[in-house]
């Protein structure tokens, strides 16, 4: 193993007639090498930064601002279910919570909800996996918080939910949903829309639909992942469960 203190080691193992000479010749060399290594990193980073910014000023990005959690309203209409979650071959039976959150601020934000399942005594039963969704100013999204261990929780009698983050986003997503409309199809709500990619490169979007009953209680949140060409448009169509009375389509993660 290399010695972490080379100079004392050399002095102690050198011959009695030359201990000082070994220290005197090697110590300045090691100090010079160490000093050169320390200087190399900031100089390299500086040149990389100048090259990337067109010889402009080098400034690290500041962390995004956070909205006051009170600006995010979480609905009291909560649906707890146990069903298949995920896609084959990684699907499994698990309990989850469907709940709406509304961004009541004047700024778009990446909103994160988290929480726990509660038993009949109100004690914590298990954690829910946090989910983050982009919510425009004044917008509303349905969140699906799945049991963190992806297990059924037959003992769950309620859920305690909280806003664990709301990062302000300066830029809008380069994909958007337009021309959305819903109609009834023999007791099921069908929601259709068009996905638009404003970017000059192809990408892939996670697309969600949210369906509600006559009391606006969450019923289902199906999803699909769709590829889309640069500057492309794609039709979207989701069919809700029997008894659904309204629906909406929104975007999740975007990949380019």
State the architecture of 175-255 in CATH terms: Sandwich (2.60)
pLDDT at residue 31, as a whole number = 53
Residue in this structure with the two tokens 């690290």, named with its chain if needed: 60
Distance CA 109, CA 134 (A): 6
Tell me if the domain spanning 69-168 has CATH number 2.40.280.10.
no
From the list 154, 161, 156, 151, the residue with the least C-alpha distance to 131 is 161
Average pLDDT taken over every residue of the chain: 84
Assign 63 a pLDDT band (cuts: 50, 70, 90): confident
* Local structure of residue 63 (DSSP, 8 states): P
What pTM value is reported for the model? 0.75
Q: What does the pLDDT look like over 116-130, one tens digit per residue?
A: 999 999 999 999 999
The whole-number pLDDT of residue 34 equals 54
pLDDT: which is higher, 32 or 208: 208
How is residue 245 written in tokens? 């009375």
Spell out where the chain has E strands.
Answer: 72-74, 79-85, 92-103, 109-118, 124-135, 140-146, 158-168, 175-185, 188-197, 203-212, 218-220, 223-228, 233-242, 246-255
pLDDT on residue 17: 37
Percentage of the chain with pLDDT > 70?
Answer: 76
For the ranges 23-37, 66-80, 114-128, 197-211, the lowest mean pLDDT is seen at 23-37
pLDDT of residue 153: 98
**Whole-number pLDDT of residue 160:** 97
Residue pLDDT, tens place only, 43-61 = 333 333 333 334 344 555 6
pLDDT attached to residue 246: 98
State the pLDDT at residue 32. Answer: 52
- Considering only 51-55, 177-181, 191-195, which range has the smallest mean pLDDT? 51-55
């Amino acid at each position: 193993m290399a010695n972490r203190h080379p100079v004392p080691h050399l002095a102690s193992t050198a011959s009695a007639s030359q201990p000082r000479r070994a220290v005197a010749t090697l110590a300045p060399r090691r100090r010079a090498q160490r000093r050169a290594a320390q200087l190399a990193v900031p100089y390299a980073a500086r040149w990389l930064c100048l090259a990337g910014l067109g010889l402009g000023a080098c400034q690290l990005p500041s962390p995004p601002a956070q909205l006051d959690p009170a600006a995010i309203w979480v609905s009291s209409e909560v649906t707890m279910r146990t069903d298949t979650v995920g896609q084959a071959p990684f699907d499994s039976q698990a309990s989850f919570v469907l709940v709406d959150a509304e961004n009541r601020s004047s700024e778009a934000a990446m909103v994160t909800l988290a929480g726990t399942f509660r038993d009949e005594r109100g004690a914590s039963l298990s954690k829910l996996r946090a989910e983050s969704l982009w919510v425009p100013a004044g917008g509303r999204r349905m969140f699906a918080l799945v049991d963190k261990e992806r297990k059924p929780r037959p003992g769950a009698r309620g859920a305690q939910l909280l806003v664990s983050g709301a990062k302000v986003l300066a830029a809008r997503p380069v994909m958007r949903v337009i021309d959305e409309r819903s109609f009834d199809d023999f007791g099921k709500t069908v929601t259709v829309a068009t996905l638009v990619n404003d970017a000059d490169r192809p990408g892939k979007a996670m697309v969600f639909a949210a369906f509600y009953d006559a009391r606006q209680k969450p019923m289902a949140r199906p999803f699909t992942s769709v590829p889309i060409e640069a500057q492309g448009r794609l039709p979207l169509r989701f069919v809700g469960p029997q008894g659904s009375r309204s629906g909406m389509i929104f975007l999740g993660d975007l990949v380019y």
